[in-house]
């Protein structure tokens, strides 16, 4: 952590000097800026099952987003974003009119329209925190602001760079406004920002891990809708890594959205087959009175699904045909497209099986023999099954498949037990499980993949605190530059 803070301070000093030379200084006010930090996450098990109520297991990674905020007298909210670390994002610098933001922040619908048409739409990930504070807590945009984002979480790698920025932004801005937000409430507000302001239909696991995770611990989340379970350390005999496939992942991409829609289509069909009361609520939407599964597909159970229900689901189904027969889905953030064809059976099966796999994975990791090779092999087998299930849904990619193959080729003799695609799939990062001393083998996988793909993959290793564990600090500026003063800011949220 100390090394990371020093790297952040150096980066911020360089950024400030560069912008000052251009006549666009940052943090020029007298009041010390407040600073929040939130990490990305490695999805170890669960992934896309989160929107169907699955249990997921997430690890906060070492890479994180820092967000500093300071009041100014300017008539705008300025957002500067510049990545640092091994794969830095480019410099972005936008000023948003305070008067326009006052209007845009009056509702999530208004904010979506404003940022959806704005040439710098990326600013929604940061300024969406202002929307949440206004809509949910009645806090007006406080006039001019400098908001500076410095993130070492690589973008497009499937490790939740967006959630890290959202969580750090809301944590810092809530502290500035004196608003009490517990870590769970903050995470769920950030999920609403991504769903309703950015327009990306993600589940809650990314924001929950970024906000509530603890360094070196796996965080189990029962996504019904967001029940945090006790975290636990990675067993001493095991290690977890992430390898970037260099295939860009986007949660808003068509593949992820189509698989999500298909799962909710499957839920509607199952409800109909079982006679659960279903009624239209809006065009393309239904409400289901579900006393059997509590409204969550993951609760159907593997045995019941395979014995009674799987065969009743079509492998593929057109959106128009589905809407004629069933009226709609319960998901509030996606829509069945009449012209699309959906892989209903595989997308429905995935969260049901993944819920069971994640539960077994958790119990094995917490067991008395968790660090041993026999348990490692079973854990790896569960990861392989999860990877195959992603592919069945249509969320695989050549790069992630090849990384999983390379892990299998080196295998247990080199201390590698298993691997799987993570998060939203269709590229992104592969999670790798091995013995705790298997780093050399992991680096060999990375090197072979780099030679074959002619890419420069990022290796994710290590962990770091979630936003709540880090707290809110102050930035002091002296002759030597910016320095983090890490006494947690005393606000009602602390």
**What residues are labeled active site?**
206
Q: Which residues contact 216 (CB under 8 A, 6 or more apart)?
A: 233, 234, 463
Strand 92-97 to 76-81 pairing: antiparallel
Query: Where is 58: in which H helix or E strand?
Result: strand 55-72
Instruction: Please give the Cα distance from 298 to 301 (Å, whole number).
Output: 7
- The DSSP annotation for 271-335 comes to HHHTT--EEEEETEEEEE--TTTTT-GGGG-HHHIIIIIGGGS-SSEEHHHHHHHH-EES-SS--
Cα separations in angstroms, 84 against 5, 81, 94, 250: 12, 10, 19, 21
> CB atoms < 10 A from the CB of 132, how many?
28
The sheet with strand 278-282 has its strands ordered as 278-282, 284-288, 328-329
Pair 175, 132: CB distance under 8 Å: no
Task: Output phi, psi for 322, to 5 deg.
Answer: -60, -45
Tokens 């560069």 correspond to: 18
> CB atoms < 10 A from the CB of 191, how many?
24
Instruction: Please give the Cα distance from 157 to 458 (Å, whole number).
Output: 9
Instruction: Please give the Cα distance from 243 to 403 (Å, whole number).
Output: 8
Q: Give, in degrees to the nearest 5, the angle at Cα 166 between 161 and 170.
A: 150
Return the structure tokens found at 263: 């799962």
Longest dimension (CA), the chain: 71
């Amino acid at each position: 952590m100390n090394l990371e803070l020093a790297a952040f301070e150096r980066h911020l000093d360089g950024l400030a000097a560069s912008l000052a030379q251009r006549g666009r200084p940052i943090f020029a006010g007298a009041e010390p800026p407040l600073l929040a930090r939130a990490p990305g996450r490695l999805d170890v098990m669960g992934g896309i099952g989160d929107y169907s109520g699955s249990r997921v297991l997430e690890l906060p990674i070492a890479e994180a987003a820092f967000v500093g905020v300071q009041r100014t007298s300017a008539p705008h909210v300025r957002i500067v974003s510049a990545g640092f670390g091994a794969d830095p994002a480019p410099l972005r610098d936008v000023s948003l009119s305070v008067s326009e933001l006052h209007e845009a922040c009056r509702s999530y619908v208004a904010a979506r329209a404003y940022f959806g048409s704005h040439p710098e739409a990326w600013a929604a990930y940061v300024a969406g925190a202002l929307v949440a504070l206004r809509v949910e807590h009645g806090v007006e945009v406080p006039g001019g602001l400098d908001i500076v984002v410095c993130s070492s979480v690589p973008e497009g790698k499937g490790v939740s760079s967006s959630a890290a920025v959202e969580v750090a932004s809301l944590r810092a801005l809530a502290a500035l406004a004196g608003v009490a937000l517990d870590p769970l409430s903050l995470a769920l507000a950030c999920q609403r920002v991504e769903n309703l302001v950015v327009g990306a239909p993600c589940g809650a696991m990314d924001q929950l891990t970024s906000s509530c995770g603890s360094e070196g611990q796996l965080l189990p989340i029962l996504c019904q809708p967001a029940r945090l379970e006790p975290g636990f350390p990675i067993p001493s005999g095991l290690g977890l890594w992430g390898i970037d496939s260099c295939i860009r992942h986007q949660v808003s991409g068509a593949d992820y959205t189509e698989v999500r829609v298909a799962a909710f289509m499957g839920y509607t069909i199952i409800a109909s087959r079982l006679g659960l009361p279903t009624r239209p609520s809006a065009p393309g939407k239904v409400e289901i009175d579900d006393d059997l599964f509590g409204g969550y597909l993951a609760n159907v159970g593997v045995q019941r699904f395979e014995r009674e229900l799987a065969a009743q689901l079509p492998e593929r189904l057109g959106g128009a045909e589905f809407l004629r027969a069933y009226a709609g889905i319960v998901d509030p953030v996606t829509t069945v497209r009449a012209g699309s064809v959906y892989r209903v059976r595989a997308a429905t099966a995935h969260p049901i099986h993944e819920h069971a796999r994640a539960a077994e994975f958790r119990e094995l990791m917490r067991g008395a023999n968790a660090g041993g090779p026999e348990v490692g092999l079973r854990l790896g087998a569960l990861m392989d099954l999860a990877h195959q299930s992603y592919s069945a849904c249509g969320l695989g990619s050549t790069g992630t498949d090849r990384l999983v193959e390379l892990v299998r080729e080196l295998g247990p003799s080199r201390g590698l037990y298993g691997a799987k695609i993570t998060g939203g799939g269709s590229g992104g990062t592969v999670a790798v499980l091995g013995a705790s001393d298997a780093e050399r083998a992991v680096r060999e996988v990375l090197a072979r993949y780099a030679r074959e793909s002619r890419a420069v993959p990022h290796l994710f290793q290590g962990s770091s605190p979630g936003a709540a564990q880090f707290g809110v600090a102050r930035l002091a500026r002296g002759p030597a530059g910016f320095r983090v003063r890490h006494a947690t800011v005393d606000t009602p949220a602390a």
